[in-house]
């Protein structure tokens, strides 16, 4: 499989081999955890980071990101202004500006480029976002005519240009920060229990004044969190074209009204197109629509380099959860599809909170903020999906059996008198799994684009053999 990011590192980190005491312990070796560890170390704390596999490994959320580090998150600023308050929008922007400054500091500005938020179907939504961004202190420029086109059939009507954003290589950054030695890193060190000041890892005890769970979906959480945090899936495709692309290679772009996201890697050789966000069962032909958008942006025939998907955590009001839980553990999660600046902003917030200072906008991100502040609609949607997922587990098994599953197809079957999921691979081998998610019991759904069984409630994912490949579930579903 072609590797989009830079995985060439000779630095490895040992597993934890004994008891340890430190100022702060960070659970999770993705970019969020690494940025939290670095921010705390910069403030003089002794920090240890624990990763179950290897830091920013190929299957991690970090490695599957498109890594557009920008303060423009589709139309988040205007949505917060309208659904929550103008002050909430300003605080959200302030946190992401702080995160972007932190990333500029860590990268030395490598990957600096312009970001364009563009419109395809009129300018009203784009204008609202421009005004909200400007009100929040973002330097940006409204362009009645965009300086690029994406398709002959769907011209860009207008765009907002935001300078000095970052097109990151998140894996390269993660490995470099871990190799610098400002904090301790322990790989192949799964944390099995955590409390206010202690955690258990490989039979050893780690004692820390502060513990941070940076695991995308917090594996150590309170009972109410599953009702406040949902997951959605989005897709990406990397393509190359010998004749080049319609977009300049030194920009990033994202649609304000249903368009796709675009950015380049490998010095403009490869274009990454992203979008098709959904919850639950994938929309038919999502991958094909993504490739069609890539083909329209090219000046000739495209070559598919890689296709993949990612699961992202979403909160009820679009604002991440960053802060301390009543159990004493700090969390940083719910970044939506905008994990780069949100993660860096969360690192700044947590570092300042732990050091006893805080920042003027950190209350916006409290895990205990008004649950219904963003409106009833997101909560009702999440509750409906969760209820439906639980009810489907009670459905009687269908009148369909393993012998009827064709190669390359997945079906729900009657397996020994109960419902089960079955996939027959191209070689004819049948793989049968339980359809009940080990996390909280929702009924799993087949994702044909990724050939995975996905949980519509909280986003756990399992490959077709039943192996768990994405939390919050911790065990597989194989039969």
DSSP readout, 8-63? ------PPP-S-EEEEEEEE--SHHHHHHHHHHHHTT--EEEE-SS-TT-TTSTTT
- The pLDDT of residue 429 is 94
> What pLDDT, on the 0 to 100 scale, is given for residue 3?
80
Q: How many residues would you count in the chain?
A: 479
DSSP E strands in 93-203: the ranges are 112-119, 141-143, 158-167, 184-186, 191-194, 198-201
pLDDT of res. 382:
62
Mean pLDDT (the chain) is 90
| Residue 128 pLDDT | 97
Confidence of residue 205 (pLDDT cuts 50, 70, 90): very high
Task: Give the tens place of pLDDT for each residue, 371-399.
Answer: 666 666 666 666 666 666 667 777 888 88
Query: Phi, psi (5° rounding) for residue 92?
Result: -60, -45
Query: What is the model's pLDDT at position 221?
Result: 60
Angle between helices 170-179 and 86-107 (to 10 degrees): 60
Q: What CA–CA distances, in Å, run from 258 to 36, 67, 275, 391?
A: 33, 19, 9, 32
Q: Express each pLDDT in 224-249 by its tens digit.
A: 676 778 888 889 999 999 999 999 99
pLDDT of amino acid 118: 96
Mean pLDDT value across residues 44-57? 95
Predicted TM-score of the model (pTM): 0.91
Per-residue confidence band for 287, with pLDDT thresholds at 50, 70 and 90: confident
Q: How confident is the model at residue 304 (pLDDT cuts 50, 70, 90)?
A: very high
pLDDT band, residue 58 (cuts 50/70/90): confident
Helices (H), 201-327: 225-228, 286-296
Distance between alpha carbon 180 and the CA centroid of its chain, in Å? 25
Q: Tell me if 210 sits within 8 A of 24, measured CB to CB.
A: yes
Helix (H, G, I), strand (E, B) or coil at 87: helix
pLDDT-based confidence at residue 155 (cuts at 50, 70, 90): confident
What are 318's two structure tokens?
């679009």
Strand ranges of the sheet holding 430-433, from the earlier edge strand across to the other edge: 409-415, 418-424, 430-433
More confident call, 15 vs 474: 15
Contact 129, 117 (CB under 8 A): yes
Burial group, residue 274, by CB count within 10 angstroms (0-12, 13-18, 19+)? buried
Mean pLDDT of the region 263-268:
92
Packing angle, helices 339-354 and 86-107, rounded to 10: 90
3-state secondary structure of 97: helix
Quote the CA–CA distance of 436 and 427 in Å, as a whole number.
26
**pLDDT-based confidence at residue 41 (cuts at 50, 70, 90):** very high
List all residues 6 or more positions away from 364 whose beta carbon is below 8 Å from its beta carbon. 88, 91, 92, 95, 319
* Exposure class string for 118-141: b at 16+ Cβ within 10 A, else e: bbbeebebbbbbbebbbebebebe
Long-range CB contact pairs, 402-408, < 8 A, 24+: 402/430, 402/432, 405/430
Which pLDDT score is estimated for 321? 94
Q: Cβ–Cβ contacts within 10 Å for residue 284, how many?
A: 10
Is residue 7 predicted with pLDDT exceeding 90? no
Given a cut of 90, whether residue 125 has pLDDT beyond it is yes
Q: Which two tokens stand for residue 13?
A: 């980190």
Strand partners, 445: 454
């Amino acid at each position: 499989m072609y590797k989009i990011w830079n995985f060439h590192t000779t630095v490895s980190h040992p597993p934890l081999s004994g008891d340890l005491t430190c100022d702060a312990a960070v659970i999770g070796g993705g970019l969020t955890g690494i940025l939290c560890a670095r921010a705390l170390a910069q403030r003089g704390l002794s920090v240890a980071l624990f990763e179950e596999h290897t830091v920013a490994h190929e299957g991690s959320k970090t490695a599957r990101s498109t890594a557009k580090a920008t303060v423009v998150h589709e139309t988040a600023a205007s949505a917060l202004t309208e659904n929550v308050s103008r002050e909430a929008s300003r605080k959200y922007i302030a946190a992401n500006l702080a995160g972007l400054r932190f990333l500029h500091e860590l990268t030395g500005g490598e990957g600096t480029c312009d970001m364009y938020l563009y419109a395809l179907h009129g300018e009203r939504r784009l204008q609202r976002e421009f005004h909200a961004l400007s009100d929040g202190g973002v330097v940006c420029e409204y362009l009645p005519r965009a300086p690029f086109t994406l398709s002959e059939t769907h011209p860009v009507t207008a765009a907002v240009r935001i300078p000095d954003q970052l097109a990151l290589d998140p894996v390269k950054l993660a490995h470099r920060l871990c190799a610098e030695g400002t904090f301790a890193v322990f790989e192949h060190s799964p944390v099995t229990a955590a409390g206010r000041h202690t955690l258990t890892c490989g039979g050893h005890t780690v004692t820390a004044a502060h513990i941070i769970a940076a695991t995308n979906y917090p594996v150590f959480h309170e009972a109410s969190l599953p009702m406040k945090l949902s997951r959605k899936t989005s897709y990406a495709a990397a393509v190359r074209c010998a004749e080049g692309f319609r977009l300049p290679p030194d920009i990033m772009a994202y649609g304000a009204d249903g368009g796709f996201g675009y950015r380049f890697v490998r010095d403009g050789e490869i274009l990454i197109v992203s979008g098709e966000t959904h919850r639950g069962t994938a929309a038919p032909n999502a991958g094909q629509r993504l490739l069609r958008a890539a083909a329209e942006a090219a000046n000739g025939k495209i070559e598919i380099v890689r296709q993949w998907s990612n699961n992202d955590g979403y909160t009820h009001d679009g604002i991440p959860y960053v802060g301390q839980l009543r159990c004493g553990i700090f969390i940083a999660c719910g970044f939506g599809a905008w994990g780069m600046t949100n993660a860096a902003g969360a690192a700044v917030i947590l570092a300042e909170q732990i050091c006893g200072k805080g920042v003027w906008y950190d209350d916006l991100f409290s895990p205990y903020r008004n649950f219904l502040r963003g409106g009833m609609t997101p909560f009702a949607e999440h509750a409906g999906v969760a209820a439906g997922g639980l009810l489907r587990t009670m459905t009687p098994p269908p009148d369909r059996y393993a012998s009827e599953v064709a190669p390359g197809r997945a079906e729900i079957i009657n397996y020994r008198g109960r419902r089960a999921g079955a996939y027959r691979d191209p070689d004819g081998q049948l793989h049968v799994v339980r359809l009940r998610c080990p996390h909280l019991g929702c009924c799993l759904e087949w994702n044909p684009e990724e050939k995975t069984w996905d949980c519509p409630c909280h986003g756990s994912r399992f490959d077709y053999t039943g192996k768990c490949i994405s939390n919050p579930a911790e065990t597989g579903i194989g039969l």
